[in-house]
Amino acid sequence: MKPIEECTIGIVGMGLMGGAFAIALRNRCGIAQNNLLACDIDGNALTLAREAGLIAQGWEGARAGEMLARCDVVFLCPGPAALLKFLDEWEHSFKPGALVTDIAGVKGSIAARAEQLRSDIEFIPGHPMAGAEGGGFAAAARCNFQGKNYILTPLSRNKPENLLFLKDLIHRMGFGRITETSPADHDRKIAFTSQLCHVIAASLIDCEADTAITRFGGGSFEDLTRIAVFNAPLWTELFTTNRDALLERIDQFEDSLDAIKGFIRDGKITEMEQRLARVRERRQALDKLP
């Protein structure tokens, strides 16, 4: 692979994450505007990205193949289902040898499809753990990559030098820890750290209609529900695509909740204090992780 500064880079989907990649590639990695291309179903986002000095040229949906044919590196930024559809439609258009990665929040189905791609496409599935409230290209500038986690689920056929190339680019965009794992392990863990937390935040908002109840709060309720500003179709897709792993996590959470509820109901003071002391210890250990 030639140096990244000499690569033509394409971004599929100029929404929140696609826009944030464009900004990071331009501002942090020194990629010239001339070398940055994008396609999107929404021509308006492409115009905005070009006028913002991010991309040289944009292609609307039906002409994505023209862009793909020119790109050495491609970031695929649609959600899981739209991504699979995009690959079916445009697999033949990728430039031979192109390094391709995605951002889908579930990796099992994506990695399985990636294994079936043309052998001259180097697809390395990924998941940047960054986002911003709102969504869409307009929110891209508020999406901060600095120090954030990035997960890769490489295919057995990926070449080590291409993996190194992508990891270097990820670090240069500002991300911190990069973790490599299997698609199944990713999906099990993301079901906990991300999806379960979003289900809980949604449930907490759902069970109380009186928004003025925050007059009685010290901020806990607001903190626990800050992530509840849902892009409803995207999160519905993430929840249902990772159904089995997520349902298992919800069950585990309910078991813990039931145990604590039992301590309260039955006045088990000692058991409650011991449980809360263990929780405190475990929570403090989180913040001491490297």
Least distance in angstroms from the C-beta of 215 to a copy of itself: 5
Residue number, 48 or 191, with CB nearest to a copy of itself: 191
- Of 70 and 198, CB closest to a copy of itself: 198
Minimum CB distance to a copy of itself smaller for 60 or for 208: 208
Q: What value, to the nearest 5°, has the Cα angle with vertex 287 and ends 284 and 290?
A: 135
Specify the stretch interacting with a copy of itself by CB under 8 A; choose among 13-21, 44-52, 156-164, 267-275.
Answer: 267-275
Nearer to a copy of itself, 48 or 152 (CB): 152
Give yes or no for a contact between 13 and 68, defined as CB atoms under 8 angstroms apart. Answer: no
Confirm or reject binding of residue 182 to a copy of itself (CB under 8 A).
Answer: no
Long-range contacts of residues 61-69, Cβ cutoff 8 Å, at least 24 apart: 63/39, 64/12, 64/39, 64/89, 64/90, 64/93, 65/90, 65/92, 65/93, 66/93, 67/10, 67/37, 67/38, 67/39, 68/10, 68/12, 68/39, 68/93, 68/94, 68/95, 68/98, 69/93, 69/94, 69/95
Q: Supply the minimum distance, in Å, between the C-beta of residue 24 and a copy of itself.
A: 16
The residues in 37-66 that bind a copy of itself, with binding defined as CB under 8 A, are none
Q: Does 274 bind a copy of itself (CB under 8 A)?
A: yes
Site for a copy of itself in 224-253 (CB under 8 A): 224-230, 232-233, 235-236, 239-240, 243, 246-247, 249-250, 252-253
| Phi and psi torsions of 163, nearest 5° | -65, -45
- The whole-angstrom separation of Cα 127 and Cα 167 is 12
H helix and E strand count, the chain: 12, 9
Sketch the per residue contact string, 133 through 172, with a copy of itself: x for CB under 8 A, - otherwise. ---------------xx-x---------------------
**Residue 3 near a copy of itself by CB under 8 A:** no
The answer to whether 131 contacts a copy of itself (rule: CB under 8 A) is yes
Q: Draw the binding track, 81-120, toward a copy of itself (x: CB under 8 A; -: no contact).
A: ----------------------------------------
Collect all residues with Cβ–Cβ distance below 8 Å to 233 and sequence separation of at least 6: 79
